[in-house]
Structure 1
Amino acid sequence: MKRQLLLTSAVLAALTAGCSPAQAPADKEAEMKQKKQQAETVSSQPQRPMVYQMLTRLYGNTNTNNKPWGTIEENGVGKFSDISDAALESIKELGTTHVWYTGVPHHAVIRDYTDYGISLDDPDVVKGRAGSPYAVKDYYNVNPDLAEDPAKRLQEFEALIERTHKHGLKVVMDIVPNHVARRYESVSAPEGVEDFGVSDDTSVEYARDNNFYYIPGESFKVPDGINPLGGHTHPLEDGQFAENPAKWTGNGARKAQPDAGDWYETVKINFGVKPDGSYDFPKLPADFAHKGCDEHLAFWADKDLPDSWGKFKDIALYWTNKGVDGFRYDMAQMVPVEFWSYLNCSVKAVNPDAFLLSEIYIPEQYRDYIYLGKMDYLYDKVGTYDAVRAIVEGKADTDILPQTFDNIADIHSHMLMFLENHDEQRIASPAFAGDPDKARPAMVVSATAHSGTNMIYFGQEVGEPGEGDAGFGDPTRTTIFDYWGVPAHQRFMNGGAFDGGQSTPEELALRDFYQRLMTVATNEPAFAGEFADLHQDNRQNPGYAGNLYAFARINGDDKVVVVANFDSERARQFSLSIPQGVVSAMGLTNGRYQTYDLLGESEGNDLSVQQGIGQLDINLAPLESVVLKVSQ
């Protein structure tokens, strides 16, 4: 059996028991009424997570000035308090279960907060006017920009955690073990907690318990070719930054003067990996891939481990104990998998339901990070994202999808699917689709072809194109480095009402699509079950030929057929063939079965089964998809 059909013999046996054809009502009007009622009764209980990512400093900003390199006074900034009850309800309406608050930990910024005991940051090693969310300066507090009262910034974030929970949503925040800001200074660390690097032996490049790597005998030099603050003056902007000896840069650059394209605003953390790549800590035995967290923690309990391991465990547990429900780990692939076993199992010991998400782009390492590193979910960027984007852009056709999904057949329940995040170009930007509607079929396939988790990025649901030169970086991605307003999102915000009062009809229609799709993708039980490719069996069907993709999802009595038309110009009308193995897995015998579209965009047609093979008439407009639930 091909791996595209991810159905085991045990599942087949369970699914084929006790299913008989349904009788369609004789009266067409009654039939349609019944289908409408069925479409409205998708389970209200989430079957799998759905993440809504926001760049917290931009989300609540109502200022529309958008001056390049603008200050807070000129361009404004969103606050924790802007994420109101109305905002959270609008997020929940999208089928969301988890909110990823990006940019919460206190990172290096340009603004003067010395009145609050915070040292000035040097713009020569800060990207943008607002700073990179991934150059964390103090892991025991939050970004003062986000607070109404910077002196009470931690309390304001704690209030947001409580407010988020009140709306039935869970809180995810970033932890970035691979690197920290060039000057890390925690003014909020609990008593007895030592800052990174304080006890380092700086006379050597590497020592196991050093938190950083060093370049002895050389001082750090600011990269050539950078233009801090876009040429605006600042008391500390002088092309110099005091760091002696120089440290390795966050992306692993080992020069005292990194390149302008390096992560020069950060320094790399040492987890006991020697400069030659060998490990200065015990390796997990291979059979620990099959063991649980209790056994992992027992393995580490008597081991002498590098100092950085304990520091990051303390940070993760600090936030876990404040009610944070999970973490998104930046560039997890640059940190050894053994550390993740230690950290993630430590978190799970406190919160067994913690949501742990890893940014990783090396498919060969996926299974190690899941089974040895105990990650719940990994980015499916090098795979599903790249494939569906190529189809949307006309660089590939849907024939690439069966192999794409086959590559993750055994781990699809651990993958996070997305079409936008803070690192990727906006769908509506000319550099991607240029039109958010062109990605509708891609979003349907991405959201429903797996059993893991989905994510949308704020503004995606209203077609934000990411236009405008904010300062550091280029348009097409909404800035993460500068103060900025996000126009399409601001129109939906409507001054804090979060009701779409200023949105265009096209933006409201797109949000409605996302709301219907993501609610179904989150709550429909079939999407927590098995996947069966239908594309390969229909490729020779003349009516099917072209940029179509079809598959089935099966979970006990719940079964769904998904068909997406990626063609932006051609309507499609054809009979979809469902092979005998899939029909059997669905538990169907010869007869006719009603289907109804969970997206509510189609009336649905009867599925006919004859001699064990199914036929389902499909009629799709350009860029239209159907998610057809099969009735018993």
Structure 2
Amino acid sequence: MKNSSWVEHAIWWQVYPLGFVGAEKSAIEQPSAEHRLLDLVPWLDYVVGLGASGLALGPVFASETHGYDTTDYFRIDPRLGTLEDFDTLVAEAHQRGLRILLDGVFNHAGRSFAAFQDVLAQGPEAATVSWFTLEWPEGAGPGVEPRYRDFEGHHHLVALNHDEPAVADFVVDVMEYWLGRGADGWRLDAAYAVPSSFWAGVTAHVRASHPDAYFVGEYIHGDYAAEVRAGGLDSVTQYELWKAVWSSLNDANFFELAAALDRHNALLASFAPLTFIGNHDVTRIASKVTDSALVPHAVVLLLTVGGTPSIYYGDEQGYRGVKEDRAGGDDDVRPLFPSSPAALSPIGKPVFDVHHQLIGLRRRHPWLHRATTQVLELSNEVFAYRVAADGPDALVVALNLSDGERQVDAGGAATVLAGTATVDGGRALVPARGWVVLG
């Protein structure tokens, strides 16, 4: 594991490109529009203005439907555009100081993936038969379909065999190709389903030629720190903290959040988790938090605790959207975005302003990347914590969920940096359902 210095300043704006540009739901020979990836270019100045420093892209490679059923890892999805469009987007982003994170689906592939199509066409004698975990009927030959291991029961997602060296070599080739074209790192989709030893070999190989590359694995549960160590990763997705944020706000139970932050502190001793309150796989925070007045509290938590924050496109505008467990159930959280920032509704400005203010605060205190929290005051409805790293710098954050003003321990801080409070005699008076960051 090697944390590149640039990651210490990274704040991602995550986009699901196929939804963002309004692409067709399935691959077709002639998409109704060309060069859609370039629709992101008018938004790059907006990303800079928000204060983010990187663009985290969902799948951009040729696929059958939603991008997580990749068919050609060396080709931009025709619904998005061309290789030249990708190069233009990367150049425009880098010109503005924005990093690019790609989404790599290396646990499984779509059925149209060439290596699997060779298996279907040529049978047990195919050169790529060892790339998959297969069961052949007796006497099988060319044109006979075997049973195969898939991803979590999704038969259209063919699981790769990560014990096969040729698969590791292929993944290394894919990663190096796109890093060579200007990408800065990889999100590893469903990393939890892949042996850590596979990631360790791949990342070590890729780092030899791209030492500044960033690797973040998608992990839902488990021992995050152990997975980072074993896989040679830089980070993992901090789902436990995500759940604690919205759950504690909805239930008025800051004890759950305090416990999650305690575990988060332990992780920060070895790596900086990827923190988020929204992404392409979950109900939007504005819909998840039952009291809309508390959405800013979630943003405060995201941007004042240690980690590498990621903001999902539209969350900073208060977009709503509910993920449902059905076919097409992700569509509501993967919407078409306007053609330019000028077309955004003014309704989202208050939420944007909260994001903008807190991102600015975070960028003025870059040590927050590896800072840990210390509880100053804790009850069901009131939470105050001190956040600090190794140096003398510290911030104090206070959150109030109650319907009345509350006095909280100011932790020695006296200056209001964001939010609203009156500080007097070591105590901060925080308004009803309010918040404050003190320095």
TM > 0.5 fold call: yes
Cα distance change on mapping 1:203 and 1:561 into 2, 3 Å = same
Q: CA RMSD in A?
A: 3.4
Please give the residue correspondences for 1:467-486 in structure 2 after superposition, counting only pairs within 5 Å: 472-474=327-329, 477-479=332-334, 485=336
Determine the structure 2 residue equivalent to 1:387. 244
Quick one: structure 1 residues 159 and 76, their matched pair in 2 at CA, closer, same or farther if it must change by over 3 Å?
Answer: closer
1:196-211 to structure 2, matched below 5 A, reads 198=118, 203=124, 210-211=130-131
Give the equivalent residue in structure 2 for 1:29.
none
Match of 2:20 in 1: 59
Q: CA deviation at 1:401?
A: 2.1
Aligned to 1:179: 108
Whole-Å separation in 1 of the counterparts to 2:229 and 2:76: 32
Partner of 1:554: 388
Q: Corresponding residue for 1:503? A: 345
User: Following TM superposition, by how much is the alpha carbon of 1:83 offset from its aligned partner in structure 2, in angstroms?
Assistant: 1.4
State the partner residue of 2:432.
622
Name the residue aligned to 2:357: 516
2:286 alignment partner, one of 415, 428, 439: 428
- Assess if the C-alpha contact under 8 Å between 1:426 and 1:476 holds in 2: no
Aligned residue in 2 for 1:94: 50
SS of the equivalent of 2:216 reads strand
Match of 2:401 in 1: 566
Q: What does residue 249 of structure 1 align with?
A: 150
Deviation at 1:597, TM superposition (A): 2.6
Matched, 1:357 2:216: yes
Aligned to 1:79: 36
545-554 or 336-345: which moved more?
A: 545-554
Partners of 1:180 and 1:250 within 8 A in 2 = no
Match of 1:464 among 319, 325, 331: 319
2:159 aligned partner? 268
Q: Distance in 1 between matches of 2:397 and 2:144?
A: 57
Of the three residues 453, 456, 460, the one matched with 2:308 is 453
**Aligned twin of 1:527:** 368
Cα distance 1:375–1:529, how it changes in 2: closer, same or farther (>3 A)?
Answer: closer
Say which of 284, 297, 302 aligns to 1:441: 297
Helix, strand or coil at the partner of 1:564: strand
Secondary structure at 1:411 match in 2: helix
Report the TM-score, using the length of structure 1 for normalisation.
0.61
In the TM superposition, what whole-angstrom CA distance separates every residue of 1:151-193 from its partner, at most 9, and x where no partner exists? Answer: xx111111111111011000111111110001213xxxxxxxx
The one-character-per-residue Cα deviations of 1:358-379 (angstroms, maximum 9, x if unpaired) are 1012323x22221121211111
**Residue from 166, 174, 188 that aligns with 1:307:** 166
State the shift of 1:266 in Å: 1.1
Q: How do 1:99-118 residues align onto structure 2 when only pairs under 5 Å count?
A: 99-108=55-64
Alignment CA distance shift 1:76-1:443 (3 Å):
farther
The structure whose RCO (Cα within 8 Å, separation 6+) is larger is 1
Aligned equivalent of 1:331: 190
Q: Secondary structure at the match of 1:428?
A: helix
Change (3 A) 1:144 1:264: same
Alpha-carbon distance change, 183 to 209 in structure 1, aligned in 2, over 3 angstroms: closer
Matched, 1:48 2:9: yes
What is the alpha-carbon distance in structure 1 between the residues aligned to residue 116 and residue 410 of structure 2? 61
The verdict on how the C-alpha distance between 1:249 and 1:515 changes in structure 2, with shifts beyond 3 A counting, is same
Residue equivalent to 1:598? 417
1:401 aligned residue (218, 236, 257): 257
After superposing the two structures, state which structure 1 stretch, 617-626 or 51-60, moved more. 617-626
Offset at 1:246?
3.1
Distance 1:434 1:72 in 2: 43
SS of 1:317's equivalent?
A: helix
State the alpha-carbon separation in 2 of the partners of residues 83 and 249 from structure 1.
Answer: 33
**Is the 2:396–2:410 contact (alpha carbons within 8 Å) kept by the matching residues of 1?**
no
Rate the CA distance shift 1:53–1:562 in 2: closer, same or farther, 3 A. Answer: same
Maintained 8 Å contact 1:436/1:463: no
Q: Distance in 1 between matches of 2:267 and 2:169?
A: 30
CA distance in 2 between partners of 1:390 and 1:313 (Å): 39
Are 2:12 and 2:55, in contact at CA under 8 Å, matched by a contact in 1? yes
Higher helix share: 2
Check 1:376–1:464 CA distance in 2 against 1; reply closer, same or farther (3 A cut). same
Q: Aligned letter for 1:144?
A: P
CA distance in 1 between counterparts of 2:19 and 2:368 reads: 32
Partner of 1:135: 69
Q: In 2, Cα distance between the equivalents of 1:557 and 1:326?
A: 32
Query: What percent of counterpart residues are identical?
Result: 22
Instruction: Identify the match of residue 146 of structure 1 among 80, 85, 96.
Output: 80
Distance 1:418 1:77, change over 3 A: farther
* TM-score computed with the length of structure 2 as normaliser: 0.86
Q: Which has the higher strand share?
A: 2
Partner Cα distance (1:218, 1:315) in 2: 35
SS of 1:623's equivalent? coil
Query: SS where residue 456 of structure 1 aligns?
Result: strand
Q: Distance in 2 between matches of 1:338 and 1:405?
A: 29
Asked if 2 retains the 8 angstrom alpha-carbon contact of 1:197 and 1:211, the reply is: no
Deviation at 1:473, TM superposition (A): 2.2
TM-aligned CA distance change 1:624 to 1:157, over 3 Å: same
- For the Cα contact (< 8 Å) 2:421–2:430, is it kept in 1? no
- 1:339 shift after superposition: 1.1
Match of 2:3 in 1: none
Deviation at 1:142, TM superposition (A): 0.8
Partner of 2:199: 340
**Unaligned residue ranges in structure 2 (runs of 5+):** 1-5
User: Deviations 1:540-562 (Å, cap 9, x if unpaired)?
Assistant: xxxxx441221112242321111
Cα offsets for 1:489-530 (capped at 9, x unmatched): 43xxxx42x13x5413x3111111111112323441341354
Shift of 1:79: 1.2
CA contact (8 A) 2:406 2:432 kept: no
Q: 1:435 to 1:79 in 2, by over 3 A?
A: farther
**How far 1:72 moved relative to its partner?**
12
Q: Deviations over 1:15-41 (max 9, x none)?
A: xxxxxxxxxxxxxxxxxxxxxxxxxxx
Residue deviations 1:71-93, cap 9 Å, x none? 99999798111112x41010122
